[in-house]
Amino acid sequence: MENFRNRLANSIRNIDDFPKPGIKFKDITPILLDASLCNEIAEETLMSFRNNNLKIDAICAIESRGYFIGMLLAQKLGIPLIPIRKAGKLPAATRAFTYELEYGTSTLEIHKNVIKPDWNVLIHDDLLATGGTAVATAELVKAEGGLITGFSFIIELDLLNGREKLLPYSQNILSLSRFQ
């Protein structure tokens, strides 16, 4: 029987030239079609953080693909899921953080006052590439008084060195599948 990490890697579909020429998009749709694999992703993620005796009070999931497994993690732990959204998508008072992209800037937002002071927050997204989105989320969590317990990703693209940008926030970085 194929082990978990091989099954996971084999379930990630590559889409050439999406969203623009020269990009090889990592599509997690096949993973989402396999309820058992989604459950295993959540269990493997939680086991990694439990094995390091890390306390998690809330999950911050990044729009939009981070929500899929982020919600499973929050449900399994019985803790809040805090959505991180693109600017203008949250209905109540927000805190924003703008960051640089290779082709411009982007802004992420969090609802104000949803993170309790000194909560230990796990930041989750589907993919770690350059690290900009995860760093922006970490800055939002810190600005709201939270502590960064760690980061979790389904996929990491090693050649983009995003992990290096996250280390100042936490040494606890989990990527279940890594690609060059």
> Catalytic residue positions?
65, 102
Question: Do residues 153 and 166 make contact, with C-beta atoms less than 8 angstroms apart?
Answer: no
- CA 56 from centre of chain: 14
Collapse the DSSP code of 6 into the 3-class scheme (helix H, G, I; strand E, B; otherwise coil) and give the result: helix
Tell me the backbone φ, ψ of residue 97, rounded to 5 degrees: -140, 125
Tell me the backbone φ, ψ of residue 121, rounded to 5 degrees: -115, 130
